[in-house]
Structure 1
Amino acid sequence: MKKHRDTPFVQITDQDVEQYALEMTSAESEQIKELVALSDQELEFIDMLSGNLVGQMLKMLIKLSGAKRVLEIGTFTGYSALMMAEALPGEGQVITIEMNLRYQELAEKHFERFDAEDKIRLLKGNARELMDELEGEFDLVFLDADKISYPLYFEKSIAKLKSGGMLIVDNVLWNGTVLHPDDEKAAALNQFNKMVADDLRVEQVLLPVRDGLSLIRKK
């Protein structure tokens, strides 16, 4: 499913264990599989797709929490937005924000094709600015965007979440480099993880799923 760039990659979970977990996890819908195939054709690398383990966890959390209004920061080609939209009730909505022009184009095309119930609203631009313009509270926020800006997005997300709402954050282990940060992104993610751990406004659990997934609940 994924194409990785020619950079060192640390398998956080034993590869055979992760494959077994995937085999024992609900399969993606046919439209999600088609979106993955199209993304693979359209882009050289699709390693930024959240993947089925993360996608199914998002769907499960939405169904368990009863979330109806969802905010996504970082759309890429639309995989996770469509995953979440599939789990929402009829009146539910995903608002997703993407800055990259190429990803905007692809996501928009994919939503037109696969979002038959019109549950997804794509906002084009910088999430730092667009988040401030959004009105009302959200039940759930999924963060998978610029890693260096995670500390900033955390504050903005907490402000937008209702009490009891969930913030789900992807890539928080960053190939395991957060243990000994040696570059800007690893350092920013380590700072983010420590910020969350010390914040009395939330309770959280960091899961070693795929590249690290934090589940954060606003008190």
Structure 2
Amino acid sequence: MTQYLVDETIEDYAFIHTGEEPPLLQELIDKTNENMGWPQKLSGRLVGRTLKLLSAIHQPKVALEIGMFTGYSALSIAEGMPEDGRLICCETNPRAIEFAQTFYDRSEHGHKIEVIFGRALETIENLDLELDFTFIDADKRNYLNYYNRVKEMTRPGGLIILDNVLWSGKVVQPESEIDDILVETNRVIAQDPDVENVFLTVRDGLNVVRKIR
């Protein structure tokens, strides 16, 4: 069951008045709900269309996704990228990778996506890339580690977007280790002189960060 952080009718109104995702992504949602555990991990329309719009505006040539799940957010980002864009996705769930690839193979944007199996921190240590755009949506215990490493790899002007930064509202009254890590990550970003950011209350919270130096 969806947990709403704002009034459910307002959330539904925003959903209805946001442009629909392509039919393939709508099918991906249905198949994920039917066949995969934890389907609520899907980014969903509000986050997905935000990612697509930011990608289309920013036109990243090299992008990274940390935590791919069944590929909804990856296809949303790839949709906005230029034809020669490259999106590297880190994922530790072999079944999710296999599921996502069936949709990448059918998408006109699937050729932009490269999936790497393994722990994201180990994967990105082996990437010799300058990043234009990153979406972080994996193990919350490593959020600050992801942010710090990705920031080093991001060119000035590049975007870093972190999902679930409200953590169902628990960041307001933290009670666990994960809550504390997300609180600290949000604090570090807000006080980082090398970036500018806007904290959006979209779904479970999006922190949109632009590296300025």
- TM category (shorter chain) comes to over 0.9
Q: 2:57 aligns to what?
A: 64
Q: Which runs of 5+ in 1 are unaligned?
A: none
Whether 2:112 is the aligned partner of 1:119: answer: yes
Q: Deviations over 1:52-92 (max 9, x none)?
A: 11111111111112222211000000000011111111111
Q: 2:140 aligns to what?
A: 147
Q: 1:193 aligns to what?
A: 186
Provide the rounded CA distance (Å) in 1 between the counterparts of 2:176 and 2:150.
Answer: 25
| Cα-Cα RMSD | 1.4
Aligned length in residues: 212
Whether 2:188 is the aligned partner of 1:215: answer: no
Whether 2:79 is the aligned partner of 1:86: answer: yes
Whether 2:159 is the aligned partner of 1:166: answer: yes
CA apart distance, 1:115: 5.1
Q: Which residue type is aligned with residue 17 of structure 2?
A: M
- TM value normalised by structure 2: 0.95
Q: Deviations over 1:176-205 (max 9, x none)?
A: 000110112211111111111121111111
Provide the rounded CA distance (Å) in 2 between the counterparts of 1:77 and 1:114.
Answer: 14
Cα pair 1:13 1:209 within 8 Å, conserved: no
Provide the rounded CA distance (Å) in 2 between the counterparts of 1:44 and 1:76.
Answer: 10
Whether 2:172 is the aligned partner of 1:179: answer: yes
Q: Which runs of 5+ in 2 are unaligned?
A: none
Provide the rounded CA distance (Å) in 1 between the counterparts of 2:113 and 2:86.
Answer: 6
Question: Residues 62, 116 of structure 1: CA spacing in aligned structure 2 closer, same or farther, 3 A cutoff?
Answer: closer
* Seq. identity, %: 39
Q: Deviations over 1:4-37 (max 9, x none)?
A: 5xxxx4x222211111111111101001011111
Deviates more, 1:93-102 or 1:138-147: 93-102
Q: 1:27 aligns to what?
A: 20
